[in-house]
Structure 1
Amino acid sequence: MAEHVRRVSSNETCVHYLSKNVQNEFIAFLSGKIQNNILQQLHQATYYSVILDCTPNVSHIEQMTLLARFIKFEANKDVSIKEHFLSFVPVLHASGEGLTEILLKELEAQRIPLKSMRGQGYDNGSALKGKHVEVQRRILDLNPRAFYVPCGNHSLNLFVNDAALSCSIAADCFSTIQQIFNFFSSSMQRWGILLKHVSTLTVKPLCNTRWESRIEALLPLRFHIEEVYDAIYEASKEQKFDTYCRNTAIVLLNRLQSFKFLCCLVTWHGILHKVNMVSKLLQKVTIDLQSSMDLIKSVKTFLEGMRSDEGLNSIITDAKELAEKNGCCCRL
């Protein structure tokens, strides 16, 4: 290969096989080879489950992601669970009927028998999980042994989302965190002030789809709130900023001094830290139903512990420590 590149670079040959068409052809060959290997393992396993999800891409085209999950028996009699991506499929009609038709055509195109399906794994989207006319119901009508199991990770995410939206204090807390990020990220000068004060973690935006990922946005305020506070304070006194900017900084300073905000910050950091750990474990290929149930129960136990007198006292103590880091008397 090195000799080939040398000859092309020195103009000894014009046939270099490095055009985009040739590269795409190489990628297609590799893709086909890998996919055939996966399908060979699937056929040897006989039984399998499918995992589907739909999301729009950057071109605003809805795409269905198709994965297969099966058991592989090794030559040394070891047994392992395999989970492989099979394809992206463009979706024109995101209804239950349309998604079912696409799934059946894709299985047929890849010579995967529907009668060997033993499981369906989808998120909680209505077009997928519906009990009457949606995908899981239509597949069950064709193969009664293809049992449907909702995504435990997605269910956990919805639980956290609903819990937060049902509490105005939590909504205000996350709104403040997002506003702090917007305040600094919308100006290079303000971001420079932040970097001057924050030594390690910088502020981050909230994730709207995966709530457990919001732990990344809480970390800077949970452990470096005094540095973020100093950065906002400097911005509020900077005369080269306009009045609106300085007033915005003053509003954010008042919110950071609120004891209610600090208690909410401590509470949600604890919740999201626990949920994030469980979420990562639920995404493992080797996870099984019993382990998933145990993990969900551990979250429930943790939340019940936070409601106890000991848990509430711990939250108040941590909130007071944050107030002391700010060097101010919090507004109750």
Structure 2
Amino acid sequence: MKLPFTNRSLEERKKIKELGPDRPDLRIQQQAIDRGRAYTRTFSRSCYDKRTWLTGCDVDNAFFCFPCLLFQSVGTEVLWITTGVRDLKHLSEKCKRHECSHSHLDNSMRLHFFGRLSIAEQLDEGYRIGIRRHNEEVTKNRHILSRIIDCVKFCGAFELALRLHDESESSDKPGIFHGLVDFVASLDGVLKEHLENATVFKGTSKTIQNELLDCMLSVVREQIIKEAQSSDFLSIQVDEIMDIATQSQLVLVLRYIDNKNNVQERFFEGISMQSATADSIATALKERLAAILPEDHKSRLICQAYDGASVMRGAKAGVHRKIQDVYPNAHYIHCYAHQLNLIMQQATSHISKVRIFFSDLSGFASFFSISPKRTGILDKVVAHRLPTSSNITWNFHSRAISTVFEHKEDLIHCFESIRDSGDFDPNTVREAGAFAMLLEDPDFNFFLQLFHHIMPHVDHLYAKLQKRNIDAAHIRECIQQFQQDMQNIRNSVRSMVEQSSGPQPKKRRRTLSSKDHERIAVEVCDTILGHTRERFSFTNHLLSATLLQGERFEQYNMAFPEDALNTTVKAYPMLNRSKLKTELSLIYSKQEFKACRGAVDLFQLFMESSLEEVFSETVTLLKLLITTPMTTSEADRCFSTLKRIKTFLRNTMTHERLNELAMLSMEKKLVTEMTQFNQRVIEKFSSLKERREKFMFK
């Protein structure tokens, strides 16, 4: 049952008991040979007539125990409540053995007395009244605690500090959490009365906050593990950063397809590392993976994505190799977004003239950022701020190039105004004059124009790499388009040079000739193209993406890609080669499939059309491709959250507290969508230790 029997209302439970066990016709058939004679055992409804407690499920196609399913007391056999019995030959024997078990008798007795007066209640009226009062108190306490949990969830979702230094009742600034609890109490009379009169358990202390956060983290993590274990395949994304307290934080993100066929990337844990060596990182990851994947499901981990650090990508002693020794199907992905950044670094830092151009470009933002007076002139004349550029940002000066290119004339006028105003110091006047001359320099303007053409394509590819639903087939298509765009820019370099060359101003320094401009521009484009081909070349396990590129289906229909299929089956041995080839041949021949762009579109088509059984091997391949992450962008997003939570003023936060608040922030949608989240937290909270307040029903 989706909602456990004990969590349902009294009326629902009475209705379930009144309806009794469901007894559908099951589709069980067993082939057997006895003394050389073959025969078949099939389901018979007479099985139900022999035992009143026996029930069936036409979804699992198995027999279950009705009382045990409802109450599930300690020691209840898993076979009769989870797996189900399908063995017709030994059904009678298993039923007799189950009927003799203590748990079955206990569950049957509880079902029999449910809804009736128990012996104790019939003999003792006071006992019955005590139970009712106890449950009324529990209901009230759970309501109060649920409101406090809502306040903690709110603070966690919006990354607000729960506590301040002085939280005493006389404090003028008790903190956001206390203020939020007081506000909720003003709208909830039960909570207000509790806060005014409580002497044993108020629920707002530091200890209670910590215990609630522990329970909330445990509930969310259990849900993520449950989702990950129910998926067919799992991938991990891992990245490392130094936090504000100079402690190394390793972020672990799980990627899988949930039971609604949606791609999920879940923050699982931030791991504090004393040393970021390959051995320490691999050991920490193995410990977490052992808790997520059972020993017999190691083959379901199909990918591990890291950045390009040598400790991660080392072929013999790197983290990915140590993980792959334990999880053989966990192929390594070097984050494609990191690789794009490396490509642009190569193109912009290894050519001296280009490196000088970007150094000059970064000076514009620095000139205005150090003085409010200069910024005031910029706002008045240009009416547009210059973005600060950094070598570690993903778009790598793109916004700065666009801003300077589009507002060049206004910037010249701004610098001339600063130079001629007489209100600035000599250093400012000198720098403003130099920047005005720089904006009129032919070399600077040529490189500004060149990268104004290049950077939009880089930004577009980067935006594609950040999408959660991206797959290898779509990535390959985007990279091919990027290469084509770069080639088009390379082919148009000569015309670009001719357009930029005109009457030269009086030279104050040596400038490059048109041939030099053309040579350097071609070198930049060749560097980008060469590194793109090298860094974005697909390894064996990613060549499977080529099998599902819609624009190639017509070509594959004429000549089947045997090499790509062989490579795919070798990388993923769980695939059935012959059946996969047959399914792909049919897909290539059908016109309706050619419109699908990438694995995600094709997968959604199969699932919406209920074709997962017909194309079972293709769906498995699609799940493999979709579950494989192409970037560690989700881990980078987690870093942003960690930095907002653990700030300079909150740098003494413990690692456990950081994990709890980060989970509430990054997985707030999951927390909101989880059924009975507050009740599950209360169950864990009440089981942590013996409490004077009552939270468990009798």
Task: Say yes or no: TM over 0.5.
Answer: yes
Amino acid at match of 1:288: D
- Percent of aligned positions that are identical: 22
Whole-Å separation in 2 of the counterparts to 1:56 and 1:3: 38
Structure 1 position 32, deviation (Å): 3.2
Q: Which residue of 1 aligns with 2:264?
A: 82
The structural deviation recorded for 1:30 is: 3.7
Change (3 A) 1:49 1:262: same
The answer on 1:132 being equivalent to 2:338 is: no
The yes-or-no answer on 1:107 pairing with 2:289 is yes
Equivalent in the alignment of 2:693: none
The equivalences for 1:286-297 within 5 A come to 286-297=469-480
- State which of 456, 464, 473 in structure 2 corresponds to 1:273: 456
Q: Does 1:98 align with 2:261?
A: no
TM-score, length basis structure 2: 0.43
Q: 1:21 to 1:196 in 2, by over 3 A?
A: farther
Residue identity opposite 1:292 in structure 2 = I
Question: Is 1:195 equivalent to 2:374 in the alignment?
Answer: no
The 1-side partners of 2:365 and 2:206 are apart by: 40
Q: Relative to structure 1, is the Cα distance of residues 64 and 212 closer, same or farther in structure 2, using a 3 angstrom cutoff?
A: same
Deviation at 1:106, TM superposition (A): 2.3
Query: Which residue of the partner structure matches residue 220 of structure 1?
Result: 403
Kept after mapping to 2: 8 A contact 1:119/1:148: yes
The answer to whether residue 390 in structure 2 is matched with residue 207 in structure 1 is: yes
SS in 2 for 1:248: helix
- Displacement of 1:179 in angstroms is 0.9
Partner deviation per Cα, 1:90-123 (whole Å, 9 max, x = no partner): 1111111111011112223556657131111111
Residues 1:243 and 2:426 are matched in the alignment: yes
Whole-angstrom CA distance in 1 between matches of 2:399 and 2:212? 39
Does structure 1 conserve the Cα–Cα contact (< 8 Å) formed by 2:253 and 2:268?
Answer: yes
CA-CA distance at 1:53 after TM superposition:
0.6
Q: Is residue 37 from structure 1 mapped to residue 220 from structure 2 by the alignment?
A: no
Q: CA offset at residue 136 of structure 1? A: 0.7
CA RMSD of aligned residues (A): 2.9
- Give the Å deviation of 1:306: 1.0
Query: Is the contact made by 1:263 and 1:316 (CA closer than 8 Å) also made in structure 2?
Result: no
1:4 aligned onto 2:190: no
Q: Distance in 1 between matches of 2:195 and 2:237?
A: 51
Q: CA deviation at 1:89?
A: 0.8
**1:203 to 1:144, Cα distance in 2 relative to 1, 3 A:** same
Larger Rg: 2
Segments of 5+ residues of structure 2 without an aligned counterpart are 1-146, 148-182, 512-698
Measured against aligned partners, the alpha-carbon deviations of 1:168-193 in whole angstroms (never above 9, x if no partner) come to 22212211121111111101101111
2:417 to 207, 213, 234: 234
The alignment partner of 2:392 has SS state of coil
Structure 1 residue 219: deviation in Å? 2.2
Does residue 146 of the first structure (1) align with residue 330 of the second (2)?
yes
Alpha carbons of 1:226 and 1:98: their partners in 2 closer, same or farther (altered >3 Å)? same
Residue deviations 1:237-287, cap 9 Å, x none?
232322122111111111111111111112212222111111111121111
- Cα distance, 1:315–1:292 mapped onto 2, change above 3 Å: farther
Alpha-carbon separation, structure 2, partners of 1:316 and 1:14 = 84
Match of 2:481 in 1: 298
Where 1:63 maps in the other structure, the secondary structure is: strand
CA contact (8 A) 1:169 1:264 kept: no
Change (3 A) 1:31 1:271: farther
- Per-residue deviation, 1:303: 1.3
Paired with 1:222 and 1:108, the residues of 2 have a C-alpha distance of: 53
Quick check: 223-232 or 112-121, which moved more? Answer: 112-121
Of structures 1 and 2, the one scoring higher in RCO (CA 8 A, sep 6+) is 2
- From 225, 236, 254, give the equivalent of 1:68: 254
**For 1:112 and 1:330, how far apart are their aligned partners in 2?**
75
Say which structure is richer in strand. 1
* Rounded Cα–Cα distance in structure 2 between residues aligned with 1:63 and 1:195: 40
TM-score (norm 1): 0.86
Match of 2:444 among 234, 237, 261: 261
Counterpart amino acid of residue 82 in structure 1: Q
Q: What is the letter of the counterpart of residue 60 of structure 1? A: T
Q: Give ranges in structure 1 of 5+ residues lacking alignment.
A: none
- Is the partner of 2:196 in helix, strand or coil? coil
Q: Tell me, yes or no, if the aligned pair for 1:198 and 1:224 is still in contact at 8 Å.
A: yes
State the 1:70 CA deviation. 1.4
- Residues 12 and 219 (structure 1), Cα distance of their counterparts in 2 relative to 1, 3 Å cut: same
CA deviations 1:53-106 (Å, max 9, x no partner) are 1111122211111011112233xxxx3322211111111111111110111122
Given the superposition, is the C-alpha separation of residues 11 and 51 from structure 1 closer, same or farther in structure 2, using an over 3 Å criterion?
Answer: closer
Amino acid at match of 1:37: Q
Distance 2:192 2:354 in 1: 61
Task: Assess if the C-alpha contact under 8 Å between 1:267 and 1:315 holds in 2.
Answer: no
Aligned length: 320
Structure 2 match to 1:54? 240
